[in-house]
Structure 1
Amino acid sequence: MFTQLQNPLSLIARLLMAALFLPAGIAKLTGFEGTVGYITSVGLPAPTLAALAALVLEIVGGAALIVGLGTRFAALALALFTLVASFIFHAYWSVPADQVFVTQLLFFKNIAVAGGLMALAAFGAGTWSLDARRGS
């Protein structure tokens, strides 16, 4: 039964992952100054460059997941990005007690998303993808 579901489930997984990253990248693009300000607030160097890199990765990576082109690379890049961002922006161990619950929830949500992305990187996009059409 699960063999018959591999392709639709792979497509759904790619679309659901893209639903997180593509809108986030577009929001960074349309609210670029706010994104740079947020990155500045956590003390990262080169916040403008970091914001630009994040929005490009989220938009290009999200689009790649949707169409299934370069899926393994896109998923791995997004997983690494998500893990790094989790430790920087959702450091629940260093926030005031009244913020721990939500921050911890966001941290572990991101850890789970990274796990799903790593599964896509490991198993690929499935046959309903441009990767499959190209023979990748």
Structure 2
Amino acid sequence: MIPIEEKTTFPANWAPRLLSVLRIVVGLLFLAHGIVKLFGFPAGAQPGQVALFSIYGLAGVLEFAGGLLIVARLLTRPVAFLLSGEMAFAYFIAHAPVSFFPGVNGGEAAILFCFVFLYLAAAGPGPWSLDARSR
């Protein structure tokens, strides 16, 4: 049987670490979106390679560079805030005109990224980060 003290400290001890895990996984997924847009890799992924000097090219640059910075744990709060805004913009420009319902317009990922990045902007990078070491 686990002592009561351990039951109450386990979530408290692991919550910050899991925040770091969330940041790393979301950063890698976002980086993958940027790689698809900028480099067309992997072949057959949507939307494929886009023109660099277009709104989708700008999104690709933000997703690639922002994903790298989020994974690298550098400037997490400002980068996450910027990426949250990018995803809100992407939802209303690309998804909402198709339909009001996210299940129909394919905007679930944009909404999820938007709010996870907003959370990271408020909560910070977690203990496993370069940002945390500089304090």
Equivalent residue for 1:60, pick from 47, 54, 65? 65
* Structure 1 residue 101 displacement after superposition: 4.0
Structure 2 residue aligned with 1:11: 20
CA distance in 2 between counterparts of 1:133 and 1:73 reads 17
Equivalent residue for 1:2, pick from 4, 11, 15? 11
> Is the alpha carbon distance of 1:6 and 1:49 closer, same or farther for their aligned partners in structure 2, counting shifts above 3 Å?
same
The one-letter amino acid of 1:116's match is V
Aligned-residue CA RMSD (Å): 2.5
- TM-score, with normalisation over the residues of structure 2? 0.75
The answer on 1:122 being equivalent to 2:113 is no
Show CA shifts across 1:58-96 (max 9, x none): 1111011112110001111111001101111112327xx
CA distance in 2 between counterparts of 1:114 and 1:86 reads 9
The answer on 1:87 being equivalent to 2:57 is no
Structure 2 residue aligned with 1:44: none
The answer on 1:75 being equivalent to 2:84 is no
Q: Which runs of 5 or more structure 1 residues have no equivalent in the other structure?
A: 37-46, 95-99
Equivalent residue for 1:35, pick from 27, 33, 50? 50
Aligned residues: 119
Equivalent residue for 2:31, pick from 13, 18, 22? 22
The one-letter amino acid of 1:62's match is G
The one-letter amino acid of 2:61's match is V
Show CA shifts across 1:8-64 (max 9, x none): 21121112211321011111111398424xxxxxxxxxx824233212211111011
Structure 2 residue aligned with 1:112: 112
Q: Which moved more, 1:78-87 or 1:12-21?
A: 12-21
CA distance in 1 between counterparts of 2:64 and 2:131 reads 18
Detail structure 1 runs of 4+ shifted over 3 Å in the superposition. Answer: 31-34
The one-letter amino acid of 1:80's match is G
- TM-score, with normalisation over the residues of structure 1? 0.74
Q: Which runs of 5 or more structure 2 residues have no equivalent in the other structure?
A: 1-9, 41-46
Higher helix share: 1
- Structure with the bigger RCO (C-alpha within 8 Å, sep 6+) is 1
